[in-house]
Structure 1
Amino acid sequence: MKFGLSKSVKGMAAAAAALTLVLTGCGSSQQAAKVGTAEDPVTIRFAWWGNDSRAKTTMEVIKAFEAANPTIKVQGENTEYSSYWDKMATQIAGGTTPDVFAMSGAYPGEYASRGVLLDLDKVKEQIDTSKFAEGTVDLGKIDGKQYTLTAGVNSMSMVIDPKVFEAAGVALPNDETWTWEDYARIAAEITQKSPSGTFGTTPMANDSFLAVWARQNGESLYTDDGKKMGISENTLTRWFELNKKLTDTGAAPSASQVVEDGSAQPEMTLMGQGKQGMKISWSNQMTSYSGAPLVMMKLPGESKQPGAWLRSSMEYAISSKSSQPKEAALFINYLVNNLDAAKLIKSDRGMPANTDLKAAITPLLKETQQKEAAYLDRIAELDVEAPKPFPAGSSATMEVLNRYNTDVLFGKISPRDAAKGLISEVNQNLA
């Protein structure tokens, strides 16, 4: 099936801790239920994360929606990703949950388990998913209920800077056949043949990437019941060993540089500065690194047993306490199905799941964004089933993973002990 045819660790940890304490299903709209008119419209609140560019575009979309729906006003609320989840947790605890809000990663599972999210089947008359690519609607289902709707899809990828390869005299890899051993070898060769300060790659500590690694090894990151990690100690140990090998061989920079690079804005990373040959990345982030002609490839090992899948880069949800759920649903429907909105948003939130909109905006995309669209078609052709949404209790996994990976890179703990510690700690969170 062709898809085209059918952010800081500390902040995230704080948000996860706050979430555990306050997500009790509380929260409500600021406004009593009423029927809007052009003279006295209903007001709904919409919260999302992102930079100033995304905020500007979103406000343009809001204005267009309001012009088409004069009985509804939308109050937009933009927050940087590093503080978004803290803010959401505070609002939920204080009973001021936005009517519509953006979600991603493990948070839908956390919020749904505590009654914060509206079952979207209750507003299915207002949301049309008939043009969505196969499987993309199900990305928002948790325990059989539709709690979110994808704003756009992306996938794990390997971003390549051909200029770095060319300068080092290293041939580009064949992403239909390469392995993780090839990746480590090529990265080390790039560093050796490049000027000081340029590296082959940097390790990536991300729970979604770890899920790909697990799936490539015939395992899953979490068990089907979401009660514990499904990835084995041996498979996790090999992942930590790979990251340590990259820094030990010089394929990647020092541990301190890896930590610094991981917290930098995309354009300030080594990849963004043209000083890195390969970077494991979300597909929709490639345009954020550089204006240089980058290339997007499949991760190593995908030909043997694919692990990457089409994933929601952002999801939309409605508060279960919203007094205006139908108006909120109409707004979501506009975001995911309206051509004018799609022409403004383009692929900023991932490629549209609505295949008609994807086809319509593809000619409007920059060259790098068109490469992303083509890459997602390749991932879709693998026909790999998406894993279940990350379970409740897993929103802290990213912080735990980063902490253990950093300790491994600095030599404070062995890969085997890191694997044991990670599994134990995450299992406690899930329990």
Structure 2
Amino acid sequence: MMFQLKKSMTLATGALVAASLLLTGCGASSTSGTTGTAEDPVTIRFAWWGNDARAKTTFEVIKAFEAQNPGIKVKGENTEFSAYWDKMATQIAGGDTPDVLAMSGSYPSEYSSRGVLLDLEKVKDEIDTAKFAPGTVELGQIDGKQYAIPAGVNSLSMILDPAVFKAAGVELPDDESWTWEEYQDLSTQISKNSPQGTFGTSPMANDSFLAVWARQGGEPLYTEDGTKLGISEARVAQWLEMNLELQKSGGAPSASQTVEDGSAQPEQTLLGQGKQAMKVSWSNQMNSYSGNELAMMKLPGESQSGGAWLRSSMEYGISAKSKNTAAAAKFVDFLVNSEEAGKLIKSDRGMPVNLEVRAAVLPLLKENQQKEAAYLDRIADMKLTAPLPFPAGSSATMEVLNRNMTDVLFEKAAPVDAAKKFIDEVNLNLAK
């Protein structure tokens, strides 16, 4: 079965469906700017984050687009993820926003609330979403308006290295039933049975993972109006305590090694070096870690009541100040709807949302990427309702979470105190 966001998910965003139809409906376009000619082309800028491999592929996509659209030139701007948002903030403040920009997480909410992003209803005739998987168009909507187009979908997953399990004499878990307690026990057992420097797992400091953790406990990460956190201090403290216990038991590395591993490129992480058995990770990152034959499983504690969900792994927005919105929209359409672009990008930006592009890409995927596609089908089959987009004011949540977890791992703060500090600080950010 081909992946799709199931009916229950589309019902959860039912109020937004009508707005999504604007992108495929008929009617006069209100685009501004021109698409130029071969003799007098217009130039647009496209900004994204990623490593050198992604940059190389993206410039190939740009070259293919320009060959088909001689009236448009695209200037590509690649930045490492850690510096990307600071660069965007500087450019936006200086009135120099790229025409097309990649986004994720809370940034569509942040930027749309500040008037940075174009309401894509204005370029509805240039971007076709008719062949998108059901429910995926809505992933780019904020308050009923389409501000972004999903580049692809992914989900949080547990990446495992079966070779590390085998060397430690430990059986792989059953991901239909395993618990976080079993995850902890397996991590400790693998570390004890492995050479020094090889570990069962490592901590995960990511607000999207915290959203999964909250949902598994029956709580939302944010309240429905987005004005404060919905997760309880107790639930945050449980997660911080679990990571501290893993470190103390040896199931995870030391605090200093955890910090170092968290800033490393995927292939340089412990998992990438074949020195870690399990890692919570975005599904589309599995192929970046290692040449080993890795496995992808559901997170512990997943159930029909809540947990991981299919989300947009990257989204494309258009600057509200662009002087060439028609050209920018035509480029976005090429990125998500062109089989030529899809065959170059494959699943690097998540699994394609255009079902025909996905079908063309699947045979080209490596074994690990095929596993990702199968995993996303399993997540879709769970029919989980996606949470609302992370609200404006939440872009710093991951940094606040990371800082407080680091304090816990270095034992500068108790989990309960760090949980309170985390919630208080994030709520202040949301109230601004």
Shorter-normalised TM range: over 0.9
Is the 2:175–2:297 Cα contact (8 Å) retained in structure 1? yes
User: Does 2:307 align with 1:307?
Assistant: yes
Structure 1 equivalent of residue 285 of structure 2: 285
Matched residue SS, 1:44: strand
Q: How many pairs are equivalent? A: 406
Is the 1:4–1:358 Cα contact (8 Å) retained in structure 2? no
Q: TM-score, normalization: structure 1?
A: 0.92
Partner Cα distance (1:71, 1:261) in 2: 45
Q: 5 Å matches for 1:258-273?
A: 258-273=258-273
Structure 1 equivalent of residue 25 of structure 2: none
Q: Percent identity?
A: 71
Q: 5 Å matches for 1:156-305?
A: 156-303=156-303, 305=305
Partner Cα distance (2:304, 2:186) in 1: 19
Structure 2 equivalent of residue 400 of structure 1: 400
Partner Cα distance (2:243, 2:407) in 1: 11
Structure-2 change in CA distance of 1:304 and 1:147 (3 Å): closer
Partner Cα distance (2:34, 2:132) in 1: 31
Q: 5 Å matches for 1:24-173?
A: 33-34=33-34, 36-173=36-173
Structure 2: any 5+ residue segments left out of the alignment? 7-31
Partner Cα distance (2:343, 2:46) in 1: 20
Is the 1:153–1:311 Cα contact (8 Å) retained in structure 2? yes
Is the 2:34–2:326 Cα contact (8 Å) retained in structure 1? no
Matched residue SS, 2:129: coil
Structure-2 change in CA distance of 1:179 and 1:5 (3 Å): closer
Partner Cα distance (1:134, 1:289) in 2: 30
Is the 1:313–1:349 Cα contact (8 Å) retained in structure 2? yes
- Return 45-54 or 365-374, whichever deviates more: 45-54
1:33 shift after superposition: 4.1
2:53 corresponds to which letter in structure 1? S
- Return 87-96 or 208-217, whichever deviates more: 87-96
Partner Cα distance (1:344, 1:100) in 2: 19
- Indicate the RMSD between aligned Cα atoms, in angstroms: 1.4
Partner Cα distance (2:113, 2:429) in 1: 14
Structure 1 equivalent of residue 28 of structure 2: none
Is the 2:304–2:384 Cα contact (8 Å) retained in structure 1? no
Is the 2:218–2:306 Cα contact (8 Å) retained in structure 1? no
1:178 shift after superposition: 0.2
Partner Cα distance (2:35, 2:277) in 1: 56
Partner Cα distance (1:370, 1:4) in 2: 16
Structure 2 equivalent of residue 28 of structure 1: none
Is the 2:5–2:136 Cα contact (8 Å) retained in structure 1? no
Question: What are the Cα deviations for residues 64-104 of structure 1, in whole angstroms up to 9, with x where unaligned?
Answer: 11111111111111111121111111111111111101011
Partner Cα distance (1:35, 1:270) in 2: 47
1:305 shift after superposition: 3.4
Partner Cα distance (1:255, 1:59) in 2: 38
Structure 2 equivalent of residue 361 of structure 1: 361
Matched residue SS, 1:212: helix
Is the 1:203–1:258 Cα contact (8 Å) retained in structure 2? yes
Question: What are the Cα deviations for residues 104-140 of structure 1, in whole angstroms up to 9, with x where unaligned?
Answer: 1111111111000001111111111111112111111
Is the 1:50–1:81 Cα contact (8 Å) retained in structure 2? yes
Is the 1:217–1:305 Cα contact (8 Å) retained in structure 2? no
Matched residue SS, 1:129: coil
Is the 1:2–1:380 Cα contact (8 Å) retained in structure 2? no
Q: TM-score, normalization: structure 2?
A: 0.92
1:237 shift after superposition: 1.1
Is the 2:59–2:76 Cα contact (8 Å) retained in structure 1? yes
Is the 2:131–2:355 Cα contact (8 Å) retained in structure 1? yes
Structure-2 change in CA distance of 1:255 and 1:69 (3 Å): same
Is the 1:5–1:355 Cα contact (8 Å) retained in structure 2? no
Structure 1 equivalent of residue 26 of structure 2: none
Partner Cα distance (2:401, 2:76) in 1: 33
- Return 126-135 or 168-177, whichever deviates more: 126-135
Partner Cα distance (1:5, 1:234) in 2: 32
Structure 1 equivalent of residue 387 of structure 2: 387
- Show structure 1 runs of 4+ deviating over 6 A: none
Partner Cα distance (1:196, 1:222) in 2: 40
1:55 shift after superposition: 1.1
1:314 shift after superposition: 0.8
